[in-house]
Structure 1
Amino acid sequence: MVEVIHPFYESHRGAMEAAMRHRLELAGSMLRERAHLSDIDGIGQEVMDEFGIVLTQIPYVGGAASRMTDFFMRLLGFIAISRVLRRHGVPVAVIGEIEREAYKAQLLTIPEAERLASGRQFMSSENQRLLREQAAKSHREEFPDDFVYDFVEPGPGDEFEFGIDYKACGFCKFAARHGDDEILPNICGLDFDAYAARGIHLERTQTLAGGASHCNFRFSSLSLD
């Protein structure tokens, strides 16, 4: 049976593949020096081939109507990188370091003003209202492979501005289905850099991938003075 890409992801395939190639370029020296790989072009082609497989596996969770679609589109490509590097014997911890540094470098290619504006929008009261609405909607579980989460208001003495508790994780479901449990924590590690690049401090002390009952994301604005 020939696997097919969902039409929504097919329509974004060019941009997603371009982002993957950019990550591989940024990771090139690290693949040589830390993973001790020499055929970087060959590794890159293996990753792009594996990414083609991942594209057929990405679950549809509502497309543009769901905020979680963007998480799948931006981060599941790292599964392809992890799969290939594991096949070449690279330790999971080293893979995680390479992926985080390549992702951070990629994020920092976006102009600072643009990144910080995106962060302010995320922390805005308008976006918090949207997050509350989408959190409530997530409990309907319209798409079985989607995330389920609660919006968290700060209590007395809390220093965060708001939080999200993920009760079910789309990445965990994906990893369990496709045998990627070992490399899943590397995806979790990318969150800190993604938010920091936008001027947001993320505090998280537990994850579903690590065996906890939920992932406890807590957000506050970074002081940029």
Structure 2
Amino acid sequence: MNIYKFIYNITMFRSRRFIIKNYGAEFWQKFKTESFSVFKKILLELPDIGKSIFSFNYAYAPSYIAWYKTMRKLGLSAEEADDLIWKMNEKMILTVPKIFLRSAGKIYLESFRKKAAAHIERQKNGKLHENDWLIEYRNLNKNSFEIDIKRCGFITLAKKYGAEEMLPGICAVDYIVAHYMGNGFSRTKTLGDGDDCCNCRYEIKGKCPLQVPAGMK
């Protein structure tokens, strides 16, 4: 099973009881059938961006788009769809024991900073896929770094499949991930909200609120 299908399937499995309890069995059956149909279509058309440092982020896009479009089709408001996707992410993340989540968060960010220079070099040489992320990277100290995202592959796909409405709400998932992985994360600008970049600051060891602070999108 590839990473795209794994993300979709484990999140649906972990969210089943919550969705049935809060929205009913009929909603769940329709949601499961319709979202999987949309997911399969996107997956068949999805270009490979190669061994990008953002390939794991990219792997979530087909699921998010399929879920969001289906939720809206089934009558949920934009805010309700955002809330449900946040909850689904939380359910999926907490499949992993918290002690392992902290280790995973540290490993992921340390790996990112080690590979950032190579990503920037490929970017300068025009070797990134058009769906890949364009960034500026700044190493601050042993624990912290910043990236300004100038182009987001997730937004590229959202626009292609008419799911722009999910932005910037879906971007708030970054806070959920950082919170449970024990990383520091903050930003004051977001591409999905029409800003010129996502100005992200990460701390390998830090704190992040579970909900998006006012003004931090």
* TM-score band, normalised by shorter chain: 0.7 to 0.9
Cα distance in 1, alignment partners of residues 18 and 11 from structure 2: 11
Gaps in structure 1 of 5+ consecutive residues: 1-9
Q: What SS is found at the alignment partner of 1:109?
A: coil
Could you list the per-position Cα deviations for residues 113-140 of structure 1 after superposition, in whole angstroms to 9, with x for gaps in the alignment? Answer: 221111222343x642222322332342
Q: Does 1:121 align with 2:107?
A: yes
* 2:179–2:207 contact (8 Å) kept in structure 1: no
Percent of aligned pairs with the same amino acid: 20
Q: Are the structure 2 counterparts of residues 142 and 133 from structure 1 closer, same or farther at C-alpha, using a change threshold of 3 Å?
A: closer
CA distance in 2, matches of 1:182, 1:12: 25
Q: CA deviation at 1:95?
A: 0.6
Q: What is the TM-score of this pair, normalised by structure 1?
A: 0.80
Q: Distance in 1 between matches of 2:60 and 2:17?
A: 16
2:87 aligned counterpart, secondary structure? helix
Task: Encode CA deviations 1:64-87: one digit per residue, 9 max, x unaligned.
Answer: x21212112134301111101111
Q: What does residue 3 of structure 1 align with?
A: none
Match runs of 1:51-130 below 5 Å: 51-62=39-50, 65-124=51-110, 127-130=112-115
CA gap 1:169/1:12 in 2 versus in 1, 3 angstroms:
closer
The corresponding residue for 2:213 is none
Match among 166, 176, 192 for residue 175 of structure 2: 192
Shift in Å, 1:141: 4.5
- Kept after mapping to 2: 8 A contact 1:23/1:103: no
- 1:22 pairs with one of 6, 10, 13: 13
Contact 1:31/1:40, CA 8 A, preserved across alignment: no
Question: Structure 1 residues 11-20 or 163-172, which shifts more?
Answer: 11-20
8 Å Cα contact 1:200-1:219 kept in structure 2: yes
Write the distance in 1 (CA, Å) between the matches of 2:59 and 2:76. 25
1:43 aligns with 2:31: yes
CA distance in 1, matches of 2:178, 2:17: 20
- Is contact 1:119–1:199 with CA below 8 Å preserved after alignment? yes
| 1:158-184 deviation per Cα after TM superposition (whole angstroms, max 9, x unaligned) | xx7111111111112112222111123
Per-residue displacement from partner, 1:168-215 (whole Å, max 9, x unpaired)?
A: 111121122221111232331111111222111210111111111111
Aligned to 1:208: 191
- Does structure 1 retain, via aligned residues, the 8 Å contact 2:11–2:92? no
Runs of 4+ in 1 over 4 A off after TM superposition: 10-14
Query: Unpaired runs of 5+ in structure 2?
Result: 209-217
Cα-Cα RMSD: 2.6
Does the CA contact (< 8 Å) of 2:52 and 2:132 recur in 1? no
Query: Do the aligned partners of 2:61 and 2:154 also contact (CA within 8 Å) in 1?
Result: no
How far apart in 2 are the matches of 1:30 and 1:202? 32
Cα distance per residue 1:76-110 (max 9 Å; x no partner): 30111110111122111111111111201210110
Q: 1:148 to 1:127 in 2, by over 3 A?
A: closer
Q: TM-score, structure 2 length as denominator?
A: 0.82
Partners of 1:58 and 1:184 lie apart in 2 by 20
Structure 2 vs 1, CA of residues 11 and 96 (structure 1 numbering), >3 Å: closer, same or farther? closer
